[in-house]
Amino acid sequence: MAEFNDWIAGLPKAELHLHIDGSLEPGRLLQLAGKHGVDLPYADEAAVTAACEFDNLDEFLAMYYLGASVLRDEEDFYNLMMDYLTKCRTQNIRHCEVMIEPQTYADNGVPIDICMRGFKAAVNDARREWGQSCLMILSIMRHAPEEEGIKTLKAAEPYRDDFIALGLASSEVPFPPAQFKRLYELAASQEYRLGAHAGEEGPPGYISDALDLLHCERIDHGIRCAEDPALVERLAREQIPLTVCPLSNVRLRCFNNMSDHNILQLLDRNLCVTVNSDDPAYFGGYLNENFQALHAHLGLDKVQAARLAANSFTASYLGDAEKARFFEELEAY
């Protein structure tokens, strides 16, 4: 076990499904609550950790949005991003794609310029200091009306070059992809790459609709595809990447236990599945801990782990030359 975990720690890999607000650790959360005088129902870090028990996605999201309400100024956003990028460095996450959710901050009276100044400064510093590769994804809240998402896309226009892609997150049911067609058409016209959460709690039809109505090239989670054999075949044939988040899926009760998780079955069927942490500060682990849990409970071996790491670069929004550089690193490892 220890030998495998050490090997995973050194494995070059990419993380493609990470909500930056989900990397807000209890210590930083309480520090910022104190700084800005935000009243939280947690006496100490242990109380925050103890509160991370969820029966479903919406229960988690209530805590997640409360947590994000402590983020107020440029320094907060800088530190949040730098905390995560530093974790990438220690976990050998050679490339990451980070979801940014400006609607959450706007709801707390914080304009997009404040968060983007902080996030961009951290990304630039990490790139300069240790060559961290990082892309940002503009993630839209599906619990809000499409019109709000369109306003956010418009507010993000000055930052068009800072976002590689558009995403769709938050409460999944009953907010089907069909409700966001205009938003995705607009984003496509601005040449955003397109992804969306689908098939986490929502039915397999949400995955098909994300592909056919929103023209997504990548699906976040997608685990409920297994309920529709024709969809599984399609995902394999078209090599549509799924950014799967094992610890998240168990914490949010998509699976009762890690031993019930279907990621290795999907890998066996030749789907382009990847491993990701989603909201590591809330779900008990970063990327390496997700790989370790798959090893401990599903017997993930090195060959499978290397395939998952290769998929993570294949499924990234990087260009071919950058992907080739990471494949070489992986090959050498």
Residue 209 interacts with Zn ion (CB under 5 A): yes or no: no
Contact between 192 and 146 under an 8 Å Cβ cutoff? The reply is no
Cα–Cα distances in angstroms (integers) from residue 58 to residues 34, 53, 143, 147, 207, in the given order: 26, 12, 10, 22, 19
Closest approach, Cβ 221 to ligand ADE, in A, equals 7
The string of DSSP codes covering 54-83 is -SSHHHHHHHHHHHHTT--SHHHHHHHHHH
Which CB sits closer to ligand ADE, 57 or 308? 57
DSSP bridge pairs for 19: 99
Q: Is residue 149 involved in binding ligand ADE (CB under 6 A)?
A: no
Q: Does 279 bind ligand ADE (CB under 6 A)?
A: yes
Nearer to Zn ion by Cβ, of 64 and 78: the residue is 64
Active site residue 328: no
Residue 19 found at the interface with ligand ADE (CB under 6 A)? yes
Asked if 101 is part of the footprint of Zn ion (rule: CB under 5 A), the reply reads no
Nearer to ligand ADE, 97 or 278 (CB): 278
* 118 scored as a contact of ligand ADE (CB under 6 A): no
Single out the catalytic residue among 200, 201, 227, 238. 200
- Exactly one of 80, 153, 169, 294 binds ligand ADE (CB under 6 A); which one? 169
Amino acid at residue number 289: E
Token pair in block for residue 196: 């969306």
E strand or H helix at 97, and its extent?
A: strand 93-100
266 interacts with ligand ADE by CB under 6 A = no
Q: How far is CA 264 from CA 16, 144, 289, 321, in A?
A: 18, 34, 16, 29
CB of 324 to ligand ADE, least distance (A): 31
Two structure tokens written together for 137: 């994804």
First to last CA, the chain: 19
Q: Which is nearer to ligand ADE, 173 or 330 (CB)?
A: 173
Q: In the set 278, 287, 295, 298, which binds Zn ion (CB under 5 A)? A: 278
Q: Where does this chain bind ligand ADE (CB under 6 A)?
A: 19, 22, 57, 64, 169-170, 197, 200, 248, 278-279
Q: Where does this chain bind Zn ion (CB under 5 A)?
A: 278
